[in-house]
Each structure stands twice: as structure tokens, then as C-alpha cells.
A = this chain, B = another copy of it.
Amino acid sequence: MIPDINKIFASRATVRDFDASRNVSDELLDELIAAAAHAPNTGNMQLYSVVVTRGEELKNELAGLHFNQPAAKNCNVLLTFCADTARFDSWCRASETASGLNNFGGAVTAIVDTAIFAQQFAQLAELNGLGTCFLGTATYSAKGFIEKLGLPEGVFPVLGLAVGYPAKQCEASDRLPVEAIRHNETFGPYNEENIRRWYSEKENLPESKKFLEINNKKTLAQIYAEIRYPEPLNKALGDDLLGIMNK
């Protein structure tokens, strides 16, 4: 076992400010992609691809699709991890058979493969001294990415990843306690008592109190549910994606 590996994983932090003077080499990206591709995947079909975007003009357009989040705008290289059943489909067509994955079930399988691959890449990037920030907005603007990146049928974005050398050291953010995540044998109940206990640390963080003030809200959950992740946003994401996944 590598000494302190659990502490290294437990203290990792998302990076949103990048050192503009340092370039992430193509050779390093290749090495990280090759190693990350050894992550587990469904039946060794590897139902994913990654698009590496460096060109300033295209990168800026993609940053726009990511709602101009600073990490997307300021990163050295912008990655788009895509669910991809098209490569497998092409292989089948070149091999006297037809893929059984061109349906919603295949799309879900590809999303899981893609997220696992993307995470293995991001963790490896961090262990190699890079900073990363996942951009879930890839799914919010799926149609835009399909157009800008020229994704063929069977390929759609799952996660963006802003990559670069960190401009500064970042601190790990808070997480729920293990007992909130772990269930033994079968699923345990959620109730007002355990929910209040599990979320109290998060609710009492100085930054949470500040958010309440800035947004003029009474509870932290209201900021999440009403401002950051409101129902119309999630419904629009779902409607777009469902149409793409059912193709």
C-alpha cells in the first residue's frame, strides 16, 4: 500500500484557478488517458470517448455552454467526456453484426462507463500535479456540445473537465458523515432527526451562513433547491437528454 493514500484521496480539492503560464502537454494527456482507460467498464466495451479542446476560439464557445464558469474559461485545456456507443456500433457493422446498445439501456450503460473513466482520469491528473474541475453543465447544454464538437449519433456529453496546473493550493470541501451515506444490510430510513444531524456541519459552515445572507434565504437547502438546482433547470436537462438517449 502507498503510505497515506487514503489521506491523499480524502484531502483532494477541486481547482478552479489555473496557472496561465504552464501548459499541459499532449504527451501527459496521452499517458493519463491510457492509464485511466484501465478503469473498470462494462464488458470491456469502453463505451466512452474524450474530446480534448485547446483552441482559444472553440474553448471560449464551450465555456459559454458551461455558463461561463471561471474554471471553464481559465483552464489550459478543456475536456469533454462523452458517452459513446458509436465506436462499438461501427465495430459491429464492420464485423457482420449489429450492436444491441442503440437504445436507452445502452445509453445508461455508456453514461456509467464514461463517469468511471472520467473520474479515473481526474484522480490521476491530480496525482500528477494537475488541478481539475468537473463541469456537470455538459449535460445541461448537451445539444450545444453535440453541435460544437460534431458528435455523431450515439455520442453525447456527460462531463466536462477543466484541466491545468493549479494557481494555488486549494482546501478540501465538507462532506456528509459516513453514516449518512452507508446503509447496513438494507436501506435505513431518513427522518427529520438523522437528516438534521447529518447536515448540521454543512449548515453551520461560515460560508453557508454567508450564502444565506447574500441570497436572503432562511435555510441552506432553499439555496440549493431554489437557486442553484431549481426544478425547471433539471426538467429541461432531462427532456433534452431523454430525447438524445432514446435515439
Interface residues of A (CB under 8 A from B): 1-2, 5-12, 14, 29-40, 42-46, 48-55, 58, 82, 86-88, 90-92, 94-101, 103-109, 111-112, 115-116, 118-120, 122-124, 127-129, 132-134, 136, 139, 148-152, 155, 158-159, 172-176, 178, 180-187, 189-192, 195-196, 198-199, 202, 218-222, 224-226, 228-239, 241-242
Contact = CB atoms under 8 A, between A and B. Distances in A.
Contact of A111 (B30, B112, B181): B112
A26 B101 CA distance: 38
| Number of chain copies forming the complex | 2
A30 B127 contact: no
Given A44-B173, A128-B5, A195-B90, A182 B106 contact: no
Given A100-B231, A101-B229, 19 more contacts: A1-B127, A34-B178, A43-B136, A52-B184, A52-B185, A58-B185, A90-B195, A92-B225, A94-B195, A96-B221, A97-B219, A97-B221, A100-B232, A108-B238, A112-B136, A115-B115, A150-B186, A151-B187, A155-B187
B33 A11 contact: no
Given A91-B195, A123-B123, A38 B9 contact: yes
